[in-house]
Structure 1
Amino acid sequence: MRKFVVGVATVVAALAAMIAPASAQGFTLSGSVTCTNGTYTVTWTMTNLMVNLPGTIASVALSGTASGSATFQPFEPPALPANGTSTATTTLPGTTSGTLTLEATIVYLDIQLQLTETASVQLDGSCTTTTTSTPSTLAPTTTAAPTSQPTAARATPRFTG
């Protein structure tokens, strides 16, 4: 019986060691916004902080100023490798304003743990198309200064006498 108790205690301690880092670290989710030619591009970054445990992306949902989902790349099936990073992008018109939130759920199958994180970005609707006009230029006109060439006077001597 004593060996059984020690064995169970060892298994419980091993599981606790695996679960504790997951609940303390898990994964992070962040968003950053860029504006190009009247279009917002939101880049979402998901980072698995678990060094030895891959995670499966169970769900991803957008809410706020836009709804829908985001597809994280490049993992097929949707998996987040141990200590890995995945990104997704969302594009919106530059006039969109308000808070855009992404919620992602990761499942760590090896330890039967599910974690959910959210990230938000603020859009102010001021992303406009920038146009630059190039002034037309004409080639400079060069006018040559008048040149006067000396003209030789023809003199014919006259002899008298």
Structure 2
Amino acid sequence: MYPNDGFRELDRQECLRLLAMVPVGRIVHTRHALPAVLPVNFGLDRDGAVVLRTSASSELARAVDGVVVAFEADEVDAATQSGWSVVVTGAAGVVTDAGEHERLLRTGPRSWMPSPWEVFVRIEPELVTGRELAGGCSLYGVTLPF
């Protein structure tokens, strides 16, 4: 975090609690050697891992399998100038264990765009960071954007 920037740093447990409250986030990965950001619905697994459900033939499943990615979710209230943002960074991988896949079919996120052959992508939470703006932070009379 940057010192004196008006934000409060969140600990890991606060971050995971906030992530569990929202249905959509953004996965950040590399596509053709450039950053790519894709909005996705997600769920949290029992160990704090971020779990996505996508088509087995999707470009996303191929692009993130076995690589380090970032996942970000947030909630912002423009009226009160408050909100939070959480970033999970870690290795992503397609779930290949049949038992784990069956468990996630029951407990994991539901796809908003179902396809006949779906896979789960798990992002291991190696680094979890977050920050919160409690509202109305200003500097020299100018309101700072979130």
TM-score range, shorter chain: under 0.3
Larger radius of gyration: 1
TM-score (normalizing by structure 1):
0.20
